Chains A and B, each alone.
Chain A
Amino acid sequence: MTELTVGDIVAERTVHLTRDSLVRYAGASGDFNPIHYRDDIAESVGLPGVLAHGMLTMGLAVQTVVPWLGDAGRILEYGVRFTRPVVVEPESGADVTVVAKVGAVDDETARIDLTVSHDGATVLVKAQVRVRLA
């Protein structure tokens, strides 16, 4: 792996989520909480709309760095805090943007900080991936 400097952007992408994405994630993960596919239920519990699963956002965020790493087995730790929900509109969906930056680096590992945003607001905080460099 080439020399890393704190602040380097190592990967970035924007993922467009639709209601189909949420149904697909529900099936794949087994999380069938209806707030992720039914407007009436989302509304009845006071949400601004149907939300993406937090774990979908977390999952797609880390995937941004896997092609750069070349091997998912280099990931030693991954953690996030969920701060803001991603509302997925029935027609227009939602864009989630991920920017992966080197946050810290030593001889053997690096901390990659993910900035994950939707509609100009950060949706995950302290989204950090600790990776093995060698």
Chain B
Amino acid sequence: MPVNPDLVGRDFPPTSPYLVGREKVREFARAVFADDPQHTDPAAAQALGYADVVAPPTFAIVVQEQTLQQLLAQPDSGIVLQNVLHAEQRFAYTRPIVAGDELTGRLAVTGIRALGGNAMVTSESVITDASGAHVVTATSVLVVGEGEK
């Protein structure tokens, strides 16, 4: 089944709020070799004007991932996880994610185009905080193969 072109423009509900924990930020920081103290030491983050530890820039993927799960869960998507390749990733920030944030992601599929036997699917996840203010927009380009049948 090829990727369903009707995914473009489909309305997806916002994800349930994700509460960013201090220890989760520390764990993620260690995993991406983020050794700057702003990511692990609340005092260092506060000295920069943040309420708590600052998440590494790519931490936004954790919230974006919840939105991509919504995409994969669409029964008519034509996307099978095993045939998906991550081709491109971008983040555009209004501010960094900080421990204590309650984040919600909202998915939009912005483009699907054919490339050989594959489809290039561009999706945009807008991530906002508890007040509704924009934090970061995460954009992924996935190459989706059609697989065996």
Q: Are B92 and A82 closer than 8 Å at their CB atoms? A: no
| Given A15-B33, A31-B65, A62-B57, A54-B92 contact (CB < 8 Å) | no
| Given A25-B31, A54-B86, A59-B56 contact (CB < 8 Å) | yes
Residue of B nearest to A80 (CB): B89
Residues 30-81 of B at the A interface (beta carbon under 8 Å)? 30-36, 38-39, 48, 50, 54-58, 61-62, 65
Q: Is B13 among interface residues, defined by CB-CB distance under 8 A?
A: no
| Given A24-B31, A72-B57, A67-B90 contact (CB < 8 Å) | no
Q: Give chain A residues whose Cβ lies under 8 Å from the Cβ of B139.
A: 79
Q: Are A27 and B27 closer than 8 Å at their CB atoms? A: yes
Per the bound structure, the CA–CA distance linking A105 and B146 in Å amounts to: 42
Q: Are B58 and A28 closer than 8 Å at their CB atoms? A: no
Q: Is B93 among interface residues, defined by CB-CB distance under 8 A?
A: yes
Residue of B nearest to A79 (CB): B90
Report the minimal beta-carbon distance from A98 to chain B, rounded to whole angstroms. 10
Interface size class of A (residues with CB under 8 A): 20 to 34
Q: Is A38 among interface residues, defined by CB-CB distance under 8 A?
A: no
Main secondary structure of the interface of A (DSSP, over half): helix
Q: Is B149 among interface residues, defined by CB-CB distance under 8 A?
A: no
Q: Is B100 among interface residues, defined by CB-CB distance under 8 A?
A: no
Contact with B along A16-39 (1 / 0, CB 8 A): 000001001101111100000000
Q: Is A56 among interface residues, defined by CB-CB distance under 8 A?
A: yes
Q: Are A82 and B87 closer than 8 Å at their CB atoms? A: yes
Q: Give chain A residues whose Cβ lies under 8 Å from the Cβ of B31.
A: 21, 24-25, 27-29, 56, 59
Per the bound structure, the CA–CA distance linking A124 and B89 in Å amounts to: 11
Per the bound structure, the CA–CA distance linking A104 and B81 in Å amounts to: 38
Q: Give chain A residues whose Cβ lies under 8 Å from the Cβ of B93.
A: 73, 75-78
Per the bound structure, the CA–CA distance linking A56 and B58 in Å amounts to: 9
Per the bound structure, the CA–CA distance linking A131 and B35 in Å amounts to: 19
Report the minimal beta-carbon distance from B92 to chain A, rounded to whole angstroms. 5
Contact with A along B8-44 (1 / 0, CB 8 A): 0000000000000000100110111111101100000
30 pairs, CB–CB < 8 Å, chain A vs chain B: A24-B30, A24-B31, A25-B32, A28-B24, A28-B28, A28-B31, A55-B58, A56-B31, A56-B32, A59-B31, A60-B32, A63-B33, A63-B56, A66-B57, A67-B36, A72-B36, A72-B38, A72-B56, A73-B54, A73-B95, A73-B96, A75-B93, A76-B92, A77-B93, A79-B139, A80-B89, A81-B87, A81-B88, A82-B88, A82-B89
